[in-house]
Copies of this chain bind each other. A is one copy, B any other.
Amino acid sequence: MREEEVETPALLIDLDAFEHNLARMQRLLEPSGIRLRPHAKTHKSPVIARLQQRHGAIGVCVQKVSEAEAMVWGGIDDILVSNEIVGNRKLARLAALSRIATISVCVDDPSQVAALEYAAEAAGTRLRVLVEIDAGSARCGVAPGEEGATLAAQIAASPGLIFGGLQAYHGSAQHLRTLQERETQIDGAVMAVTKTLDALSRRKLACPVVTGGGTGTFELEAASGVYTEVQAGSYVFMDEDYGRNLGKEGAPVSTFCNALFVLSTVMSRARPGMAVLDAGIKALAMDSGMPRVWKQPGLRYVRASDEHGEMEIAPESQSPLLGQKLRLVPGHCDPTVANFDWYVGVRRGRVECLWPVAGRGALY
């Protein structure tokens, strides 16, 4: 089947670009020796997670218990739930999973250590628990230093739990546009980690893992000397928003290629200078801006409604045909993926594979 024959809207992976991104990340991290634990919240696909493992990843991160379930059921052995899970039934599901795979989870409140201990004991298993420290995002996570170490000591003293290390992800640093801004923020995260490692060391608590870093900053965490693994996820696909990050001397970052697209059809051309696509808010995440029409500089996606996307056609440009299919680069890849049931893998214009978005709807 040719790409133009795929029913739209469809979620396309350009397999050449995708494989380039996998290999590129492996090459970038190899010299530093830092481990890669890519975030599967980006792709929600155990197939992609397994390909990441073939390129050196040691496991994955997820955000939700249901995502962890999708990963375990798809053959992934080492999963970090990279935030807090609250609620006894969710913790029971997590403990049950830890009988099949290595499961770690984060905590940022002393009351939750007892809940985790209870869940592990009831399931007859042990859970790895990381202390989340606030690395600068001011969202979740305890204060670095003594507060983090106190929580770690509480975990280490719980027979059903293993102190797994520190979660120190700085989410809001990922999309700061200049390299200098990102460096300043990650310097702060590294200081927060160091302060907490010192406090742990005073208590003679070993810290096996320091994990964090996304597609916008992972090279900084990798070079820090204190992080042991990075959690970049979007690098496999890239999106318009990450494409706006700048690197050295203000040049655009071009480390990874656009590998994810929403294929869309022109469904109306009733007005001159405009064309309407069949992919709107229900197909494309708009929280980080409009999608870009791929390799069509004269076409600009300017307005989205639930099922429609309006494109302006530049005066000098050729008008797209009714029924013509166009690739769109999503503004934000993660929530765009979550709108679809399947990936359509294409290589040089031909469909090569269909992969389920197994963790779609895995919100809980």
Q: Name A residues whose Cβ lies closer than 8 Å to a Cβ of B.
A: 7-10, 41, 63-64, 83-87, 89-90, 108-109, 111-112, 134, 138-143, 171, 265-271, 274, 276, 278-279, 281-283, 285-287, 304-308, 310, 322-323, 334-335, 338-341, 360-361, 363-364
Check if B363 sits within 8 Å of A140, measured CB to CB.
no
By the criterion CB–CB under 8 Å, are A134 and B270 in contact? yes
If A64-B307, A138-B274, A340-B361 are given as contacts, then 9 extra A-B residue pairs at C-beta distance below 8 Å, sorted by A number, are A10-B364, A84-B267, A86-B278, A108-B270, A140-B268, A282-B363, A286-B287, A339-B361, A339-B363
Q: Is the CB of A89 within 8 A of B267?
A: no
Query: What residues of B have a CB within 8 angstroms of the CB of A143 in the complex?
Result: 270
Inter-subunit contact B281/A322 (CB<8 Å): no
Given contacts A41-B307, A276-B140, A283-B363, contact A86 B266 (CB under 8 A): yes
Q: Is the CB of A271 within 8 A of B138?
A: yes
Q: A9 touching B339 by the CB < 8 A rule?
A: no
A-B CB contact pairs (8 Å), 26 listed: A7-B87, A7-B89, A7-B90, A7-B364, A9-B364, A41-B307, A63-B306, A63-B307, A84-B268, A86-B265, A87-B323, A109-B269, A112-B322, A134-B271, A138-B271, A139-B268, A139-B305, A139-B308, A139-B310, A140-B270, A140-B276, A171-B305, A281-B287, A282-B335, A340-B363, A341-B361
Please name all residues of chain B whose beta carbon is closer than 8 Å to the beta carbon of A364 when the two chains form the complex.
7-10
Residues of B contacting A86 in the complex (Cβ-Cβ under 8 angstroms): 265-268, 278, 322-323
Chain B residues closer than 8 Å to A271, beta-carbon distance: 134, 138
One of B83, B112, B268, B339 near A308 (C-beta < 8 A): B83
A310 nearest CB neighbor, chain B only: B139
* Chain B nearest CB, measured from A85 CB (Å): 7
- Please measure, in the bound complex, the distance between the C-alpha atom of A276 and the C-alpha atom of B141, giving whole angstroms: 11
User: What's the Cα separation between A134 and B9 when bound, in Å?
Assistant: 24
A359 CB to closest chain B CB (Å) equals 10
A85 vs B266: C-alpha distance in the bound complex, in angstroms?
A: 10
